Amino acid sequence: MNCVFVCSSLESGRDAVGDYCRGLAAGLKNLGHQTALVGLNDLFVAATEESRQPVPMLRLAHNEAWPTRVKRAKQFLDKCRAEWISFQFVSYGFHPKGLAHRLPRICAPLAAGRKVHVMFHEIWIGAKTNAPWKERVVGAVQKHMILHWLRDLNPRVVHATNAAYAGLLRAEGVHVLDLPLFGNIAPSRAPDFQEEIYRRAGVTRETRNRFWLFGIFGGVPGDWKLEPLLERLWRLAKTEGKKPVLIAFGKREAAGEKVMAGLAEKFDGRFPVVLFGSHSEERVSEFLQTIDFGIAAAPLGLLGKSSAAAAMLEHGLPLIVDRNDVLFRVPIAPEIHPRVILPDAQFERRLVAATKTEPETSRAQIVSRFVEDLQNAG
């Protein structure tokens, strides 16, 4: 198979969808398939860049005229002899307000004569049951554009990263297959860094088994109400003779910092909150291998689109998914990973019985599933 992935941006470590595409391409190459990458609206290059390693890659600068970009992208696809073209859809990657009205005109010449795949990392906004009217209005325009784009492309395979997006697309008559994200943190070790984590958490190697270390990785939503969960975890830890510590790791926006500061103040003396910023991939992996439980910031219906949740599961962590507060106007039936712990009547029993497993990346499995879905479609 020869498949070229097309997304908005390909800056390593700065664009999650671009990193995902790089991972997919590496996975295809490992399986012996031909592949390449195109960034159609790359915000991180001042002029068009083309490279050949580790796979052929074309990055088209966002400040170039669209006709020029489309021409260069088509020439690149022809040179690569692409059989499949995989559009990795993120509406806000092509327009600051998510109004990607140019996409049909951009994609049609690229798709001509090729088999088409679409992966939805985002769809339209305003689909939540409590969405404000402005979001619903913008979302209605986005939905019209997306469905029009799909009708024009007539893709052979459509994937969505999570149950919510898949359900919303199916409600519009689109045949969608589920394909969750894999983690973007490869298991590795940075043993010296574990001592820093222990020091800041108030843990020593001698006292380690007296603690439960809970971890949040990545962004923290400004509307996330963590207090009820932490109260429940504190009561359970006290019953089990454990001292709980919450460690937040990664980049957080101002709203997320405010949430964490509020928790640190409220739970001072009972449930210490330790904040780390961004670190290298090796240190992130060490953090994930050091803690006992992960806590997902993503709600249950959108869990499949969270690379942070995928990374925690791939590092063998039992994952607490506290949020099921994002509801949609269609039925959602997410597939629940066996190590996901929900805050239901069995929560305490399942948490006490939970154990970590050895780190194991899911990328190869998901890439194989991707290949199988495309090959089954002919």
**First vs last C-alpha separation in the chain:** 11
Q: Any idea which of 113-127, 296-310, 316-330 has the lowest mean pLDDT?
A: 316-330
| Residue 18 scores a pLDDT above 80 | yes
Q: Which residue has the higher pLDDT, 325 or 136?
A: 136
Question: DSSP 3-state helix, strand, coil percentages of the chain (rounded to 5)?
Answer: 40, 20, 40
What local confidence, expressed as pLDDT, does residue 325 receive? 66
Q: Any idea which of 28-42, 126-140, 185-199, 327-341 has the lowest mean pLDDT?
A: 327-341
What local confidence, expressed as pLDDT, does residue 33 receive? 97
Q: What is the pLDDT of residues 64-98, one digit of tens each?
A: 999 999 999 999 999 999 999 999 999 888 888 88
What is the average per-residue pLDDT within 9-28?
A: 91
What local confidence, expressed as pLDDT, does residue 96 receive? 82
How is the chain split into domains, by residue range? 2-182+365-376, 191-360
Q: Which residue has the higher pLDDT, 327 or 296?
A: 296
In the chain, % of residues over pLDDT 70: 99
What is the average per-residue pLDDT within 145-161?
A: 95
What local confidence, expressed as pLDDT, does residue 260 receive? 92
Minimal CA–CA distance to 214: which of 240, 248, 188, 166? 248
What local confidence, expressed as pLDDT, does residue 333 receive? 72
What local confidence, expressed as pLDDT, does residue 330 receive? 75
With 0-12 / 13-18 / 19 or more C-beta atoms within 10 angstroms meaning exposed / middle / buried, residue 355 is: exposed
Please report which confidence band the pLDDT of residue 131 belongs to, taking 50, 70 and 90 as the band edges: confident
| Residue 109 scores a pLDDT above 70 | yes
What local confidence, expressed as pLDDT, does residue 59 receive? 97
Please report which confidence band the pLDDT of residue 12 belongs to, taking 50, 70 and 90 as the band edges: confident
Q: Which CATH architecture has domain 191-360?
A: 3-Layer(aba) Sandwich (3.40)
What local confidence, expressed as pLDDT, does residue 173 receive? 95
Q: What is the pLDDT of residues 246-294, one digit of tens each?
A: 999 988 999 999 999 999 999 988 999 999 998 999 999 999 999 999 9
CATH of 2-182+365-376 among 3.40.50.2000, 3.90.1300.10, 1.20.1250.20, 3.90.1150.110: 3.40.50.2000
In the chain, % of residues over pLDDT 90: 75
Q: Say how far apart CA 239 and CA 241 lie, in whole Å.
A: 6
**How many other C-beta atoms lie within 10 A of the C-beta of residue 340?**
19
87-103 in b/e form (b: 16+ CB < 10 A) is: bbbbbebbbeebebeeb
